Amino acid sequence: MMAIMVRQTAAGSSDQGPALDSQEYLTLEDIARRLRISKDSARRMFSREPGILRLNAAGKSSTRNGRVRLRIPASVYDRVVNRLRHVS
């Protein structure tokens, strides 16, 4: 698993907004492997979910293949999977 741990702390006062707690971030490959779906299906499933991180190379609007790298917090993954389980 290639999960990424991201820690961001707010320096100074608390008026800078909430700090991100240490949280596990999953790649599309991680999600595709867990759900046994293609990476493209994982991208379609998560690309518009609130709370995901969209990463671009510095100074570029997208990666070389025209896609933005996505990192999905474990909490967003859990929310989507639970929603899919309860679809009737």
- Overall domain count for the chain: 1
Q: In this structure, what token pair is assigned to residue 70?
A: 């996505």
Query: How far is the C-alpha of 87 from the C-alpha of 80, rounded, in Å?
Result: 11
Query: Taking the model in full, what pTM does it have?
Result: 0.67
For residue 3, tell me if it sits in a domain.
no
In sequence order, what are the residues at sequence separation of 6 or more whose Cβ sits closer than 8 angstroms to the Cβ of residue 46? 28, 31, 52, 70, 72, 76, 77, 80
pLDDT digits (tens, 9 = 90+) for 16-63: 334 456 789 999 999 999 999 999 999 999 999 999 999 876 666 655
Owning domain of residue 85: 24-56+67-88
For residue 52, tell me if it sits in a domain.
yes
Higher-confidence residue of 76 and 6: namely 76
Higher-confidence residue of 17 and 85: namely 85
Q: In this structure, what token pair is assigned to residue 30?
A: 């991680």
